[in-house]
Structure 1
Amino acid sequence: MKVIIAGYPKTGTKSLTSALRTLGYTVYDYLENFQFLCNDWETVLTEGGNSEDFYRMYNGVDATLDSPVFVFWEELHRTFPDAKVILPIRDEDKWIVSFKKQCRQIDDHMLMKFYKFFTPTGRRYQAYTNTWVTAALGTPLKTAFHKTPVNELLYRTRYRQHNKYVTEVVDADKLLVYQVKDGWEPLCQFLEKDVPETAFPHANVGGTFFRDNMETHPVLLRMKNEMITMLSLIAVIISFVIFLF
């Protein structure tokens, strides 16, 4: 592990994922943590874990971020003490607006609702999300067809406390407090990388991550294929019943 992103969701994490991959890092973002480490994270979130668990989970991965990593960034840093820590931040008022908008985007995404309710991968994804949200933010999501509860006072308080704590406990030479609007220069200087010739990526603007990745990400494609299989099976059963009667 070379880089640990300690920031909350909606602080530019998807842009950082794209930027780090451009710089040559292997990155586990939210869906990769679910895809490859769901069992491990469910155990950590419900029973606990230790450095041996985190080493096994992330040995060979260059960087990780988003949920539920931002909750356990310190334990990861104890496991990989040579890793650098990046704390992406943004104005608190803009952050909470963006966070609430992301929740609405997910709530209103009808296809994801059906995936999370009717497919095996989707149901597990929903359960996994409920587990980390309850552990990190204290507000369970209930089911795929319920609106996401957003306790603005609680989220603001935890966001503020989290950022303050990270800046207090990480050695200055290992920490970059970063805003994605600052682009490549401070990030590359901190990571000792050459600045790419390409423009700095800006991903998930407006909370469109799921819509943008529906046809490309393996996790979402698996949900799609499971839904197609389920609908095909239902169609066969209905046809068979009609034939019989």
Structure 2
Amino acid sequence: MSRLIDELPTANRPKPMEVLVLGLSRTGTMSLKVALEKLGYSVYHMSEACMRSEDRHLQLWQEALNAKFKGKGEHWTGDDLDKVLRNYNAIEDIPCILFVDELLEKYPDAKVVLTNRDVDSWMKSFRDTFLQILGWKTLPWIASIDPIFWGPYHSILTSVVNIWTNDNIADDAALRQSFKDHYAHVRSLVPKERLLEYKVQDGWEPLCSFLGKSAPGGEAFPRVNDAKWTVKLHHYLYYRRLWGIGKKYVITSGVLLSAIGIGYWRMGK
């Protein structure tokens, strides 16, 4: 079976992978993304995958998730992941963090930042974002008519939620255990000298010290992407894509109707 990832060329990295942020989503990863960019890193986060949807990044990640967690197709290797990530020297967030073993094997010299938060507050944030968005009644509909963005994005979010809840989104115990298992797994694989346990409330000092960087002078540590903002952003993306699809449909329909009209006119001459 042919794979989408095999259509991407293999090429040398312009710069080595330096930072793997392996904490779960909703642990301050967007704030940390902004911070890392201020420190000069090129960061691959779920937001980047979404912005690269025209390049089929979302479809590529769904292929990788299907292979690893559903047994559909050939499992992605570290080299496969690097085809998607090669222009970045830091990674964060879903879907990357579902490939901890592959990333650590592929990038053995990268430093690891493990973003964390209290498990109860994480579960609330998870439900106030992931599950609230997936609960929109019209989401499956727009996913069915938008193969570029909402189709694969909806599929990825659904896959992630099912992985973390053992296919039962109401199972708080499974969600809590997935959180604990993920952190225990990362800690079991990464030597302490290569690992920074981090909360975004810690600010610049421990992060910059660990990475060997100087903190931006006079700048507060970024604070972005709280639950309400995340949901508002998804509303915006929903209506923006709906407008784009509708506009394309109207233009296509208009061209088709014009062609039919010209055809009838010619037939009548």
Shared fold (TM-score, shorter chain, > 0.5): yes
- What residue is the counterpart of 2:181 in the other structure? 161
Number of the residue aligned with 2:25: 9
Q: What value does the CA root-mean-square deviation take over the aligned residues? A: 3.3
Deviations 1:12-46 (A, max 9, x none): 11111111111111111113235353343233222
For 2:76 and 2:164, how far apart are their aligned partners in 1?
16
Deviates more, 1:231-240 or 1:187-196: 231-240
- Structure 2's unaligned 5+ residue stretches are 1-16, 68-72, 260-269
Give the drift of 1:58.
1.9
Q: Relative to 1, partners in 2 of residues 1:238 and 1:90: Cα closer, same or farther, differing over 3 Å?
A: farther
Amino acid at match of 2:159: T
Aligned counterparts, 1:160-239, within 5 A? 160-196=180-216, 197-209=218-230, 211-212=232-233, 224-230=243-249
Query: Partners in 2 of 1:66 and 1:6 — Cα distance?
Result: 7
CA contact (8 A) 1:19 1:201 kept: yes
Residues 12-31 of structure 1 mapped to structure 2, 5 A cutoff: 12-31=28-47
Contact 1:25 1:62 in 2 (8 A): yes
Counterpart-to-counterpart distance in 1, 2:215 and 2:139: 37
* SS at structure 2 position matched to 1:82: coil
Contact 1:98 1:207 in 2 (8 A): no
Confirm whether residue 74 of structure 1 aligns to residue 90 of structure 2: no
- Aligned match for 1:94, one of 121, 131, 145: 121
Match of 2:112 in 1: 85
Q: 1-side partners of 2:241 and 2:171: how far apart?
A: 32
Cα 1:42/1:7, change in 2 over 3 Å: same
Q: Which has the larger radius of gyration?
A: 2
Q: Is the CA contact 2:164–2:174 (under 8 Å) kept in the aligned structure 1?
A: no
**Could you state the TM-score of these two structures normalised by the residue count of structure 2?**
0.73
Using the TM superposition, give the Cα deviation of residue 92 of structure 1 relative to its aligned residue in structure 2, in angstroms: 0.9
Q: Which amino acid aligns with 1:16?
A: L
**Counterpart in the other structure of 1:144:** none
8 Å CA contact retained: 1:71, 1:136: no
Matches of 2:91 and 2:131, distance apart in 1 = 25
Q: Give the distance between the partners of 1:174 and 1:220, measured in 2 at CA.
A: 43
Question: How far apart, in 1, do the equivalents of 2:166 and 2:92 lie?
Answer: 20
Q: What TM-score does the superposition give when structure 1 sets the normalisation length?
A: 0.79
Amino acid at match of 2:107: F
CA contact (8 A) 2:59 2:152 kept: no
User: Match for 1:153: what amino acid?
Assistant: A
Contact kept in structure 1, 2:46 and 2:92, CA below 8 Å:
yes
State the identity %. 30
Matched residue pairs, number?
232
- Alpha carbons 1:87, 1:175 under 8 Å: kept: yes
Gaps of 5+ in 1: 141-148, 241-245
| Cα distance between partner residues in 2 of 1:208 and 1:231 | 31
Question: Does the 8 A contact of 2:33 with 2:45 survive in 1?
Answer: yes
SS at match of 1:20: helix
Aligned partners of 1:69, 1:183: CA distance in 2, in Å?
A: 24
1:49 has 2:76 as partner: yes
Q: Per the alignment, in what secondary structure is the counterpart of residue 143 of structure 2?
A: helix
2:32 aligned counterpart, secondary structure: helix
For 2:39, the aligned partner's letter is: L
